[in-house]
Structures are given as C-alpha cells and as structure tokens.
Chain A
Amino acid sequence: MSTRTPETVTEHTFYLNLGPQHPSTHGVLRLFVKLDGEYVMEVDPIIGYGHRGHEKMAESHFYEQFLPNTPRMDYLSGMLFNHAYVAAVEKMTGIKPPPRAEYIRVVCAELNRVASHLMWLGAYLMDLGGVTPFFYAFDDRENILDILDRVSGSRLTYNYCRFGGVARDVDDTFIGATRDFIKRLRGRWKDYNNLVTKNVIFIHRTRDVGVIDKDIALRFGCTGPVLRAAGVPYDVRRVEPYSVYSELDFEIPTGVNGDALDRYMIRLREMEQSLRIIEQALDRLPGGPIRTPTPNKVRPPKGDYYFAAESARGALGYYIVSDGSEYPYRLKVRVPSYGNLQTLTEVLPGTLVADTICILGSIDIVVPEIDR
C-alpha cells in the first residue's frame, strides 16, 4: 500500500516523476516513483490531470444532453460506453429498442472493441521500443474508423445510439465494408504473429513481467483482460448478458499466469472473438425500424439503478439515481481502468524502470476514463 511515511532517505534512492508529460504514460498520468538505482521501490500513481467533472455535469443536464459525454470518457471504446449508457436508461424507463437496432449496436460496439485493442497493440509495442507495429495496427484501425465514420459521423467520439434505437440506419456498403474488413484483418494475424508474437525480444520483455494473479485482481477489483489473464473467465457479456449477446456464441479467452504476455495473447484472441460476433450479428441482422418513438425528455421512475456492460478494458457500469425528473439526480460511472491502475502500487515495487513502462502499457489504461 502506498504509505507515505517519510523514513530516513538512504543516499542512493531518489524520487522520479514519470510525470504528466511522458511519452508512454498514455495520456496525463503521473507516476511518482521512488527509485533505488534502476529498481522501483515504491510507486504512487497521481491522477486527476484528466479530470473534467463528468458526474457533476450529469446533474445539471438532461439524460439526452449527457449522451455526448459518454464516448468522451473512454475515447478508445466510445461506442461501448455510449451503448451501455443508452441501455441503462432504456432499462430504467422500460423502452424496448427494435431488434435491428440491437444488432446494429452490437456490430458497432464490437468493431469499436477491435479498434481499441488495435490501438492498444500499437501503443504497447511503442512502449517496448518497437515502432513499426504501431503503424500496421493504426493502418487496420483506420479501416474500422472509416466504417464507423460512415454510419455515425465521427471517428472517435461516436454519439450514435439514441434512447430506443440508433440514429441512422445501416446500408449495404456498411455491411460489405465490414465483411471485407473482417477478411482483411484475419489475413493480418499472420503478420502480427511474425512481427510481434514470435519476436524473441518481445517474449523476453513480457514473459513473467507484471504478474497479476487472482488474489491481487480480487483485492483491487480488476476486470477485463487483466482479470482474464489471471485465469478468471469473468466477462459481463457472458455473466450478465445484455442486448443480444445471449443469442450470439463466442468464447472468453483466459490466460494462465497473468503476466504481460498473457494479457497480450488474450487481447489478440479477443479481437478474433469480436470478429466472430460481428459476423454472426451481420448474418442475423433483421429488417424493420431502427428506433421506437420515445418522448423528447425521458423521465425514468424514482429509485436507483445499476447497469453493467463490458468495455474493451473491463466491466463498465452506470449507477444512476433518478428522482423522476428529466435530470439524473446522481450518475456514477464504474470504470474498469480504475481498479486495473491501482494494481500498480502492488505489482511495480521491485521491478526495473523499463518493466514499469511495460506493465503500465500491458494493463491498457486511458487516463480521462479513470479521472472522469
């Protein structure tokens, strides 16, 4: 635990700020690290540099006005956050979106999950010093952005879902482009494996590095690939199936010893599972309307509600307390990276500085998501 008792400073330990502006802290996270030479003695992640006050904003905005905020919290899996918020409000108000809208939402959400994992792959390899995979991963990611841009109008911060359905319908070029993309990405696994997975330096840099086992994950409340790498198959899409995930079959890849290499392998396999989900969803895409008529200002009944979903980084949840008016009384977003980042205080002491960056990259955090 990060106790800050000022004990006598032995001469060769010094404090280093892997500060808010650092090439590989994925945004504005500051790791206040106490170093003994190259070895990390104690780390105190200082966050808040990306805090924008989302929850305070929710209390003075309608439910509809909060929609654009959701993709800006975790801008790498914006569609997943958007989908979860809309599904939460629909559950509160009892609005039933048409099946076509549900399938479109699942397709776009899974595409966004693949894009988020690709972005992570590029950034993670760059943290380890290999620059080229970043460009290949971004090359594939641009295809997804084109597909989602065509239907939602934006590349990163998708405001595509509405209460009761989606904003625009999906046409054949979208479906055709998605199928081509799936074929193309499946062809690229061979390149990624040759360039990264079979790369001996990569394996040595990530095997048995930053081991997060079941007990640490339980104590810190980690979810997502970090928890699945420890061998626990916890995926909200499987445990609490929402939307149409119950009708689609996909596996939950789990790792064995929870080190950085396992987290890498899990994310690759998760991308493959997402492609399978997209294919099934596209095959079963029903016709019909894309949105049920809903009142302009949604007024959910009184009481508090919790809705859990699976974002690219773990279990995401919206805890909404409604007082019957069109403004949420309190809106708390349970964010997966919050618990994942905390494990650093337990896992990092004793590792080298190079490993610190490797572990930080392997748990895949997005800072404005943690700071909200």
Chain B
Amino acid sequence: MSLEDLKKELEEIVEPSSVHTRDYDRNGCLLEIRAERSRLLSIAQAARDAGFFLEFITAVDFTEGPIAVYQFNECNAVSRIQVKVQLARGESLPSIGRVYDAALWYEREVFDLFGIRFDNHPDLRRLLLPEDADFHPLLKEYGKVHAFRSAREIYVDQDA
C-alpha cells in the first residue's frame, strides 16, 4: 500500500481540499491533512491498514487554541504524513489508543503538558509531571515564552 493509495483513501475520508502535498526537501513530510476531530479515528485506521506506524502525537499552542499534530510514517519508503487538527480552547480529542498502542503514552503526554483531554482513553493520567501537579507547562501562558501568536501568522501559505 504505497502513499498514493493511502492518499486516495484519505481523500474519501476527508474532503480533497484539505489534503495538501508538501515538498519533502523543505518541510520533511510529503502529505499534510487538515482534518476535523471527528475524522481522526478513521484516518488512523486507514493509516494502520496501510502499514504505517505512528511517529508521534504532539500539540502546538496558538491564540485560537492548540493544534494537535499526528505524524505517520512507513518503514520501507519515505512517506511521512502529518495530520493537523485545530481545536478550540478546552476541546477534547478522540483517543486512537485502540488503533495504535503507542498513542496511549503520547496522548497522556499531550494531556500532561497541554491539558487536552482525550475521551475514552483507558488510563488518562499525567505521564511526566508528578501526579499532584496542577499546571500544564507547555501552554504559552505558563512561564516565560518569546511569543504567543495565532496559527494564521505561521501557516501563511495554507488557509489556516
């Protein structure tokens, strides 16, 4: 199942306009998908069937709300896909722990550092910080950071 087949399959799940091909030399990934949070589980299932593995899940905090970034890759060829989900402040995400076991810890870490809750995650507790910590450090309001921008300022070329 090479990248093209997966791309066609993803275009059925998510409307084609939000699937952008990115130039590998500049951005390091071939395909970028701006998905809705409801589509996430089906995208993960499609990637899993195509034999991709989950590289990481993380989030980036913006003024409108965090963007969750999922990245999948294949073992035998360069075919890196990034899935970005724009969340409102305090919105939760469906957990893809059923599809990828690796997601369990990544989601716990994102919850720990960003405060994004994952519903029907079997064991959502803090991963890195001590259990009794009451703050989410990687949010931009916490501590001293250089800048707190909106997503549109950074993702200039696509419609954010």
Q: Which residues of A contact B (CB under 8 A)?
A: 1-4, 47-48, 51, 53, 55-56, 59-60, 91, 217-221, 227, 232-234, 239-240, 302-308, 315, 317, 319, 321-323, 325, 327, 329-330, 332, 334, 338-339, 342, 345-346, 371-372
Contact = CB atoms under 8 A, between A and B. Distances in A.
Contacts of A1: 97, 101, 104, 122-123
Interface stretch (B2-10, B34-42, B69-77): B69-77
B102 A60 contact: no
B117 interface: no
A230 B122 CA distance: 28
B102 A305 contact: no
Given A48-B129, A304-B154, A305-B28, A342 B102 contact: yes
B71 A319 contact: yes
B144 A332 contact: no
Contact of B75 (A59, A232, A307, A327): A232
Given A3-B123, A48-B130, A221-B100, A334 B105 contact: no
A372 B105 CA distance: 14
Given A1-B97, A218-B53, A305-B26, A321 B123 contact: no
Nearest to B27: A305
Contacts, number: 135
Nearest to A59: B145
Interface string B7-28: 0000000000000000001111
B137 A56 contact: yes
A303 B157 CA distance: 9
B146 A59 contact: yes
A221 B26 contact: no
Contact of B138 (A4, A56, A315): A56
What interface size band does chain B fall in? 35 or more
Contacts of B88: none
A16 B120 CA distance: 28
Contacts of A319: 56, 58, 69, 71
Given A2-B123, A303-B157, A306-B71, A60 B145 contact: yes
Contacts of B105: 338, 342
26 contacts: A2-B123, A48-B128, A51-B128, A55-B138, A56-B137, A56-B142, A59-B140, A60-B144, A220-B102, A221-B56, A227-B75, A232-B76, A233-B76, A302-B153, A302-B154, A303-B26, A304-B154, A305-B27, A306-B71, A307-B28, A317-B55, A319-B56, A327-B146, A330-B60, A332-B56, A372-B128
A56 B136 CA distance: 11
A323 B153 contact: yes
Given A60-B145, A221-B53, A227-B75, A321 B60 contact: yes
Contacts of B27: 303-306
Interface in B66-110: 69, 71, 75-78, 80, 82, 97, 100-102, 104-106
B51 A218 contact: yes
Contacts of B146: 59-60, 325, 327, 329
Nearest to B146: A327
Contacts of A303: 26-27, 154-157
A302 B60 CA distance: 14
Contacts of B102: 219-221, 339, 342
A53 B137 contact: yes
Nearest to A55: B138
Contacts of B25: 91
Contact of A317 (B51, B56, B106, B127): B56
Contact of A306 (B28, B77, B97): B28
Contacts of B147: 323, 325, 327, 329
A332 B55 CA distance: 12
B55 A47 contact: no
Contacts of B28: 91, 305-308
B46 interface: no
Given A1-B122, A323-B153, 8 more contacts: A48-B128, A59-B146, A221-B53, A303-B157, A308-B28, A321-B154, A323-B147, A334-B56
